[in-house]
Amino acid sequence: MASVTAPPNTKVELNKDEILRYSRHLILPEVGMEGQLKLKQAKVLMVGAGGLGAPLGLYLAASGVGRIGIVDFDVVDFTNLQRQVIHGTKDVGRKKLDSAAESMQDINPYLQVDKFEVAITSENALDIIKDYDMVIDGTDNFPTRYLINDACVLLQKPNVYGSIFRFEGQSTIYGYPGGTIDGKKYEKGPCYRCSYPEPPPPGLVPSCAEGGVLGILPGIIGLVQATEAVKLILGIGEPLIGRLMLYDALAMRFREMKVRRNPECPVCGDNPTIKELIDYHQFCGVPNPKDAAPEATHLSGFVSDTEIDAVALKAKLDRGDKFQFIDVREPHEYEIAKIPGATLIPLNDVPKRFGELDPEKETVVHCKMGGRSAKAADFLRSQGFKHVKNMLGGITAWSDKVDSSVPKY
């Protein structure tokens, strides 16, 4: 997709105010009136209005992209404000869709924003994506990345990909269907599955909520994605097709790797075997949120053989029950907030220090949100610990349900 064309019999023009607004574009020979009209006609879908979606939304709106769809069903939280600059303190508790659309249309009132307050799924992805020229992936989980990839390949839409973690980020264009850009012919490009045929084991890669992220980082990667989207619309420059850009904020270094289309890829290969969207949570080996057990997410005082929630744990502590209570977070997290009575043994130290614990005693493990402690609990069971419970929701749930004076981070 080297350019975007208007619907038949539709004349697209720039009014006097738009000509002034986009004047710094119009004097660029590579853009000019023709290019700015392409931007006005363009239809871009953003999946996610969070870290990557924030700079994407702001700069695509400012650039004059005429129609932007946003898929998001989350609300603004205080922890978002360190990096999601499309939202402000006044927006905490609001739908991200509404906050993002308001900020974007404040920048550019000529913008049409389509809001999809849904989780993108195998059931709705094709219907949502089909009306747009390209998708920009601002998601943070593997099932959705594979879903977006497969949907884009099936619909022959470019997928402008980005991801971030701690101090590092990356970006490329997946699923390019082939075409000519700036006089150069590009063959069909690789897709996400060409680079990552199989998802990582569940829990191996922590989320930004578990591992952290430099607040500035999504700004840099999101702007790379926005730049690539604009280049595709204008049909100029050398896009990140077949090239994965890697960024290290601590070293302030950009580098790139070649990525090639796999002729045997099950989605974009010469003889594809995946011709419709599948169950991506099952493919990635992670639970589907819509299938979550109600007692694990809604009820207070929940206890099972393997799990315990914050309210039930508080009751155990108040009764003076004897059990081993282990915090598997990192020391710098322990300094931020802690639950009285917990012993700190960071997750990476558990295999070296589990000998300090009694395998016959009841043991409760917790972390920030429950992911790392689940891994620690599984390891302890593998070492013969008979009574191990993972604390659902971790110290975040403790702050929400038991003691609000414990800081959330």
Distances (CA, A) of 324 to 245, 360, 362, 385: 46, 10, 6, 11
The type of residue at 405 is: S
The three-class DSSP label of residue 162 is strand
The span from the CA of 342 to the CA of 385, in Å, is 18
The single residue listed with the structure tokens 């853009």 is 31
Catalytic residue among 208, 265, 268, 284: 208
The span from the CA of 338 to the CA of 331, in Å, is 10
Question: Is there a contact between 301 and 315 (Cβ–Cβ < 8 Å)?
Answer: yes
367 classed as catalytic: yes
User: What would the two tokens of residue 254 be?
Assistant: 């950009």
The span from the CA of 233 to the CA of 134, in Å, is 9
**DSSP 8-state code for residue 334:** H
Residue 229: φ, ψ to 5°: -65, -45
Residues 6+ apart with CB under 8 A from 258: 242, 243, 244
| Pairing between β-strand 134-137 and β-strand 159-165 as defined by DSSP bridges | parallel
E strands in 178-333: 179-181, 184-186, 243-248, 253-258, 307-308, 324-327
Question: For residue 371, which of 341, 392, 387, 396 has the smallest C-alpha distance?
Answer: 392
43, β-bridge pairs: 67
208 classed as catalytic: yes
The three-class DSSP label of residue 47 is strand
The single residue listed with the structure tokens 């022959």 is 156
State the alpha helices, DSSP H only, in 245-293.
280-284
233: left (phi over 0), alpha (psi -120 to 50) or beta: alpha
Catalytic residue among 191, 194, 268, 367: 367
Q: What angle do CA 370, 375, 377 make, to 5 degrees?
A: 90
Residues 6+ apart with CB under 8 A from 355: none
The set of catalytic residues is 208, 367
